[in-house]
Amino acid sequence: MHRRLVGGVGELRETDVSKRAFNFCAGPAALPEAVLQRAQAELLDWNGKGLSVMEMSHRSDDYVAIAEKAEQDLRDLLAIPSNYKVLFLQGGASQQFAEIALNLLPEDGTADYIDTGIWSKKSIEEARRYGNVNVAASAKPYDYFAIPGQNEWQLTKDAAYVHYASNETIGGLQFDWIPETGDVPLVVDMSSDILSRELDVSKFGLIYAGAQKNIGPSGLVVVIVREDLLGRARSSTPTMLNYKVAADNGSMYNTPATFSWYLSGLVFEWLKEQGGVAAMEQRNRAKKELLYGAIDASSLYSNPIAVNARSWMNVPFRLADERLDKAFLAGADARGLLNLKGHRSVGGMRASIYNAVGLDGVQALVAYMAEFEKEHA
Amino acid sequence: MHRRLVGGVGELRETDVSKRAFNFCAGPAALPEAVLQRAQAELLDWNGKGLSVMEMSHRSDDYVAIAEKAEQDLRDLLAIPSNYKVLFLQGGASQQFAEIALNLLPEDGTADYIDTGIWSKKSIEEARRYGNVNVAASAKPYDYFAIPGQNEWQLTKDAAYVHYASNETIGGLQFDWIPETGDVPLVVDMSSDILSRELDVSKFGLIYAGAQKNIGPSGLVVVIVREDLLGRARSSTPTMLNYKVAADNGSMYNTPATFSWYLSGLVFEWLKEQGGVAAMEQRNRAKKELLYGAIDASSLYSNPIAVNARSWMNVPFRLADERLDKAFLAGADARGLLNLKGHRSVGGMRASIYNAVGLDGVQALVAYMAEFEKEHA
């Protein structure tokens, strides 16, 4: 038990950090407790400077050092080659859907997209507003329960790029392989699985990820882009959406989301302390094996996704009798197992088990699932 | 003195809130200490829910209540009429420079812009990329030390809108009047003076403000837009930059900057506790009178701006001998009077005295200025 006295607006009260719940939210999602504690400790006074990180000029030496360390730690974690720029932008992955087309798709060009679910469909819809989009493969014939192998893809010769989502947060579908596209730049929405397992960045032209799953707070999107892809934006691109402008200005063409960037830096620091991405992969493998194992061994719970396409991060599951859903969620809430309700378009349950959800969280969930099944057998 | 024990990543240390400095940064800027204390208290556990606001789904009942309360408090503070939408967006004012043109300027239309300094010039440059811009008036003939009166403006008949910046953060130039544009919508960049004094929102078609001065952390921009101006976006507008899409989705077309929105809500709550915008106006008037009074009474310090155009928020001043600048800044730093260095394009000093900088901060600054002048007489 760990109590401390803290001040509020016109009040004093106690925070009991032992009351932290297990949070299975799909995003904004759980953050490492150590990161929140550090942010809490520094919130009014960063490094004895007498002000909060939120109150610092983004051009001050102190803040620039915070920002640069965050970028360097991310580069270390993913072994990002030096010919890639790392951008800390705003607007989330949804803004990237347009930004990618505006920056990389010539008005008379074609981009190939792979449809594996709701998020890739959204990226396709937005890209279609800016040019010719070829859906080179779709999981639709598999009811979005499996990912078509590359032998089934109809890629365009000389496409501007090939786009896919490595993990579909809602469907719970994840690539366990990286497509081969030769000289055509590969663009990936990695919002919900970046930093969760090892990654060869050099296979990609551009990687983007909304922060609010495995990186930090919402309101930040990280873009990792190969330098030769900069400078291709069409003339109508808003200045703030032009990757080259962002790259040339160190993501500070205007004031960036300074606090989110700082907090992401704390997450990167925490990831390094944990042993980096290789260690997270090991831990995430154990977590998903435990959870899918429990689902597969049960006669109450089920997950429909093809085994090789099951997401390590977002695990949707249904109860055999959906009339039990409400009782399942109420019991989970009572045990501090929060946000297990599935997305409205899918129903059932969904456990999002990003980096910040430890094995202990999954163990608590699996124990509860077994108990609930026994009670309702 | 107020000490507490707080935990960090792998360490415990003390935060001494009596060590908070006076922060005159132009932005990201000082936040009310009570707001930071409240955020600190809740950082790991909001309202006993066992999670941080940063870890909540933006679609959860708890978060939606936080977001809606923030909007309502802002509506109360500014008496925003019901035919205006309040949007909480990303990308800062700089993204708005394009967004305003994309949403409000027809491809064959003309928009009028008033040039009063660096920020209005940036908005003009960006708008020119999307259509015909008429600079209806410029402060250039006045060396940007005064604002041309409306009798000098050359407005376009049937302009799509008239745009101005109510306060130029760098030049220290502020409108103390609201332009009259009849039926032509008036659009204003109020990034650095929103909420600092009373305001008749009904005079405007659209008001926008980057958060990081008088609202909250960076990474958030508030847009207050009259409903009849929605739905005019040109077809090439990225979905995320379309005001109607944002309005129809309660600023949650995708995940918004949830923590910045929450923290802005705490600032709005604090403003209401302080007596609202009328009380802030009174306090800000006292602050600026004290500071300009000290400058005008001195033979060392000077401010070049026409008296009726002097900014209440950003007070640039020069020392008669610029060789003293370094000593002035070092002495200020030593006294916890931070970030007084002027913008590189202007030189000298600049004290930004937003809402969160109290009269005590300005008193401390003025006392130091007098002491420094005496020492260097």
Chain Cα centroid distance, residue B32: 14
Out of A92-106, A298-312, B8-22, B322-336, pick the least confident: B8-22
Distance from CA of A64 to the nearest CA of B (A): 13
Tell me if residue B183 is catalytic: no
Q: Are strands A314-319 and A349-352 parallel, antiparallel or unpaired?
A: antiparallel
- What are the chain A neighbours of B236 within 8 Å (beta carbons)? 129-130, 236
- What are the chain B neighbours of A259 within 8 Å (beta carbons)? 217-219, 259-260
- pLDDT above 80 (res A5): no
Report the pLDDT value the prediction gives residue A346, as an integer from 0 to 100: 86
Please tell me which of the candidates B39, B44, B90 has its beta carbon nearest to residue A20. B44
| Chain A residue with Cα closest to B12 | A41
Question: What residues pair up with B138 in beta bridges, in sequence order?
Answer: B115
pLDDT digits (tens, 9 = 90+) for A184-213: 999 999 999 999 999 999 999 999 999 999
- What are the chain A neighbours of B93 within 8 Å (beta carbons)? 254
Report the pLDDT value the prediction gives residue A18, as an integer from 0 to 100: 57
C-alpha distances in angstroms, B341 versus A57, A171, B121, B128, B266? Answer: 12, 52, 23, 32, 29
Report the pLDDT value the prediction gives residue A8, as an integer from 0 to 100: 33
* pLDDT band, very low/low/confident/very high, at A3 (cuts 50, 70, 90): very low
Touching check for B254 and chain A: CB below 8 Å? yes
* Below-70 pLDDT ranges, chain B: 1-18
The structure tokens 């003076």 sit at: B193
Spatial separation of the C-alpha atoms in residues A340 and A344, rounded to whole Å? 12
Q: Which three-class secondary structure string do you get for A162-206?
A: EEEECEECCCCEECCCCCCCCCCCEEEECCCCCCCCCCCHHHCCE
- Residue B351 contacts residue B332 (beta carbons within 8 Å): no
- What are the chain A neighbours of B338 within 8 Å (beta carbons)? 49-51
Report the pLDDT value the prediction gives residue A344, as an integer from 0 to 100: 86
Catalytic residues of A: 119, 189, 213
Cβ <8 Å between A51 and B7: no
Report the pLDDT value the prediction gives residue B18, as an integer from 0 to 100: 57
Q: Are strands A22-23 and A337-338 parallel, antiparallel or unpaired?
A: parallel
Cβ <8 Å between A21 and B336: no
Touching check for B252 and chain A: CB below 8 Å? no
Mutant choice from A254, A268, A339, A344 vs B, greatest count of B C-beta within 10 A: A254
Distance from CA of A191 to the nearest CA of B (A): 12
Please tell me which of the candidates B45, B49, B273 has its beta carbon nearest to residue A15. B45
C-alpha distances in angstroms, B323 versus B256, B296, B327? Answer: 47, 20, 8
Mutual orientation of helices B92-104 and B118-128 as an angle, nearest 10°?
Answer: 40
Number of inter-chain CB pairs under 8 A, A vs B: 291
- What are the chain B neighbours of A35 within 8 Å (beta carbons)? 9
Cβ <8 Å between B260 and A256: no
Was A169 annotated as part of a binding site?
yes
Please tell me which of the candidates A55, A58, A95 has its beta carbon nearest to residue B30. A55
The candidate with the shortest Cα–Cα distance to A15, out of A3, A31, A25, A26, is: A3
Catalytic residue of the set B213, B287, B288, B341: B213
pTM comes to 0.95
Distance from CA of A22 to the nearest CA of B (A): 8
Q: Look up residue A117 and give its DSSP letter.
A: S
At A13, is the secondary structure helix, strand, or coil?
A: strand
Report the pLDDT value the prediction gives residue B5, as an integer from 0 to 100: 34
Report the pLDDT value the prediction gives residue B3, as an integer from 0 to 100: 35
* pLDDT band, very low/low/confident/very high, at A307 (cuts 50, 70, 90): very high
What is the ipTM, given to two decimal places?
0.94
- Residue B232 contacts residue B93 (beta carbons within 8 Å): no
Cβ <8 Å between B40 and A258: no
- pLDDT above 70 (res A58): yes
* Residue B91 buriedness (CB in 10 A; 0-12 / 13-18 / 19+): buried
